[in-house]
Structure 1
Amino acid sequence: MKLAVYNVENLFDRAKAMNLDTWEQGRPVLEKFAQLNELLGQIDYSAADKTRMAELMAALGLEKSDTGPFVLLRRNRGGLLRRPRDGGIHIEANGRADWVGSLELRDEPVNEHAMRNTARVMMDLDADVLGVVEAESRPVLAAFNTEILPALGGTPLRHVMLIDGNDERGIDVGLMSREGYPIGRMRSHVDDRLANGQTIFSRDCPEFEVTTPSGVRLVILVNHFKSKGYGSTASSNARRRVQAARVAEIYRELSGNGVEHVAIMGDFNDTPGSAPLAPLLDDTDLKDIFEHPAFDDGGWPGTYDLCNASNKIDYILLSPSLFERVQAGGVFRKGMWPGSRPRRWEPYDEVGRKQDAGSDHAAIWADIDI
């Protein structure tokens, strides 16, 4: 069985704020969006809340219209605000129950070359079971599978599953598998919460049970931990540590219930040896595929951007019973921008510019005799 994971960075549409030339350009927009969304969701609005809402709306380009350059304010019913003729924004609602609507990030199509290069990576991986990170939704993932892959000469995978998670930007995690590898029982952790009511997972930590042609069953958990992109370093690190600890707990529960074959994979947004990932990487018997003698990192230790050691953030972790059955493994980077001085690897011919890359992430794969 060839098991792989790939952060596709959206397939058809991506939030405009995440599609800017650099992360530093989009980060302030996403931070303000998150702050405003949190304020709008409160049961009661204080005077200070209303003042801050108005400031954030103006900063997001909503002073004159409900449609800003990067966000869209939907007001279905009720009176949230008014815009005086002399300018500014006045928040009239006193709480969330006073209006019906939502704040959304505006999308724009993904670069067509990038879309095709994402498909090429999937085709060349030729995985039997593929974990997918940052897909918009199950319908989008299914459409990409049945429309884009065949258009480039690829064979669609038989099974496609994705459960909507907690992220409002349309970046969820899912699983795809070939004929002979059906997806059986599924369990979502989208609603796992801390004692204070905060959801643990930024997206979800779904459990997918997959059966191989030989009849062996394994459970695969796909993850996308809190990024370092926005919010304070301390809060981001704390959130990732909580997520890692909960995944470790789920793994121990599975093992305690007699599940021998477990794979945990995805974009963990942190490096081996980091404190946030310690509960998962250090405090369990899971093994990183990078540690296997048969694994080939292609000459670079990382999985993101230019693949330096500080960019090793994507993982396939295997239970001991799976790790001992690994025959080979590697990092697939042909869909990534290789840099220019010098080029670090040979990409597809179609990756002529950084924005043409299928993703900023490499795909990781493991051949397992099971």
Structure 2
Amino acid sequence: MRILSFNIQNLRLRQGAGQPRLDGARDRDEIGEASALDPADRRLSAALLAEAKADLVLLQEVFDTDTLDWFNTRLLPAAGLPSYPHAHCPPGNDGRGLDLAVLSRQPVQLTSHANVTPSDLGLEAPQPGLPVFRRDCLMVETGGLTVFTCHFKAPYPDPDTAWPVRRAEADATRRIIERHIPAPSQGLWLIAGDLNEPFEPDAEPAIQPLLPPFSTDLMARLPEDERWTYFDSHSGRYGQPDALLASPALAARWPDAIPQVLRAGLAYEATRHRGAHLQGVGRHRPHASDHAGVLLDLPGI
């Protein structure tokens, strides 16, 4: 099985003058940027998925099911990639439509945890009756593998207030894994998504409950200078918010499973990437996203 995790950066379908169109890969504070670049952005997003040729695609920042379906049935075939027969985008808690989505070649069983509270999980929290996840922790079961795909709270606008939110999400994700897989070290599971650890991690990362020895960090199988997955054009900094955390059993079963970071869709301003770019990428835009895709092959599953 080939798995791709990709923060696609604000994928939203809109209706304008009776014509549907997808927003480009830009944040909401960049709304003044040329909307004429939006179609080119999304062609590049589709081209990145076509390059990956994944069996299971885990997307972050998709607005809704209509958006996912339009992208899947219109843009992916135009990029040379057949539409995925299984496409899901359950509603999360973001309120702005930054939901988690799944595209799969094989049937999947999904379990959303968008409505789960700390009280449900037996966790202490200042507001134990409110949903613990800012978006969701979406459990995807397929082919004997269980994937927990997440998009945790970003360290903005105030890192100090974001830290306990992200820690609560990490605690909740671990508790969900422990409840679903009674012997977590022996099960075949993977945490994949944008966990939003900051550029300069705190002395104790907010996601510490999910880190080794509870899991094996597959991104650590790459050289340190090859782990970055994100470029912030405002600060010029590089980071690695995108994660692949495997169960010890999964890591042992696939000792040679080394992630690939797909940076071909990043803008040329991310000068640390000296490899090939997709045709049409610009200095800042067009681009596929401000995140790279993270690809993992697990043969035989």
TM over 0.5, shorter chain: yes
Runs of at least 4 residues of structure 1 off by over 4 A? 13-17, 271-274, 306-310, 340-343
Aligned residue among 232, 246, 253 for 1:325: 253
- Corresponding residue for 2:267? 337
- Kindly provide the CA deviation profile for residues 109-149 of structure 1, in whole angstroms up to 9, marking residues without a partner as x: 97111100000011101111111100111221122111111
Q: For 1:130 and 1:144, how far apart are their aligned partners in 2?
A: 13
Instruction: Judging by fraction of residues, say which structure has more helix.
Output: 1
> 1:296–1:331: 8 Å Cα contact kept in structure 2?
no
Q: For 2:115 and 2:153, how far apart are their aligned partners in 1?
A: 16
- Corresponding residue for 2:9? 9
Matched, 1:192 2:116: yes
SS in 2 for 1:253: helix
Q: For 2:25 and 2:251, how far apart are their aligned partners in 1?
A: 40
Q: For 1:17 and 1:148, how far apart are their aligned partners in 2?
A: 18
- Kindly provide the CA deviation profile for residues 146-187 of structure 1, in whole angstroms up to 9, marking residues without a partner as x: 111112222111211121000111110021111xx2112x22
Summarize the Cα distance change of 1:342–1:160 in structure 2 as closer, same or farther, 3 Å threshold: closer
Task: List runs of 5+ in structure 1 lacking aligned partners.
Answer: 27-68, 70-107, 212-216
User: What is the identity, as a one-letter code, of the residue corresponding to 1:350?
Assistant: G
TM-score, normalising length: structure 1: 0.67
Give aligned pairs, total: 273
CA shift, 1:339, in A, is 1.8
Q: RMSD value over aligned CA atoms? A: 2.9
> 1:296–1:329: 8 Å Cα contact kept in structure 2?
no
SS in 2 for 1:207: strand
Matched, 1:239 2:168: no
- Corresponding residue for 1:143? 70
SS in 2 for 1:229: coil
Aligned residue among 289, 311, 330 for 2:218: 289
SS in 2 for 1:222: strand
CA shift, 1:324, in A, is 2.4
- Corresponding residue for 1:249? 175
CA shift, 1:229, in A, is 2.4
- Kindly provide the CA deviation profile for residues 258-300 of structure 1, in whole angstroms up to 9, marking residues without a partner as x: 8821111100110577521111114x521122123xx477x53
1:27-38 matches, cutoff 5 A: none
> 1:336–1:361: 8 Å Cα contact kept in structure 2?
yes
> 1:12–1:109: 8 Å Cα contact kept in structure 2?
no
SS in 2 for 1:315: strand
Summarize the Cα distance change of 1:341–1:286 in structure 2 as closer, same or farther, 3 Å threshold: closer
- Corresponding residue for 1:50? none
Q: For 2:58 and 2:26, how far apart are their aligned partners in 1?
A: 25
1:81-230 matches, cutoff 5 A: 111-178=38-105, 181-184=106-109, 186-194=110-118, 196=127, 197-211=129-143, 217-230=144-157
CA shift, 1:334, in A, is 0.4
Matched, 1:368 2:295: no
- Corresponding residue for 2:191? 264
- Kindly provide the CA deviation profile for residues 8-51 of structure 1, in whole angstroms up to 9, marking residues without a partner as x: 01334459993444xxxx8xxxxxxxxxxxxxxxxxxxxxxxxx
Q: For 1:250 and 1:268, how far apart are their aligned partners in 2?
A: 16
Aligned residue among 241, 250, 255 for 1:313: 241
Matched, 1:356 2:286: yes
SS in 2 for 1:118: helix
- Kindly provide the CA deviation profile for residues 344-365 of structure 1, in whole angstroms up to 9, marking residues without a partner as x: 4332121123121110001111
Q: For 1:166 and 1:110, how far apart are their aligned partners in 2?
A: 29
> 1:159–1:176: 8 Å Cα contact kept in structure 2?
yes
TM-score, normalising length: structure 2: 0.81
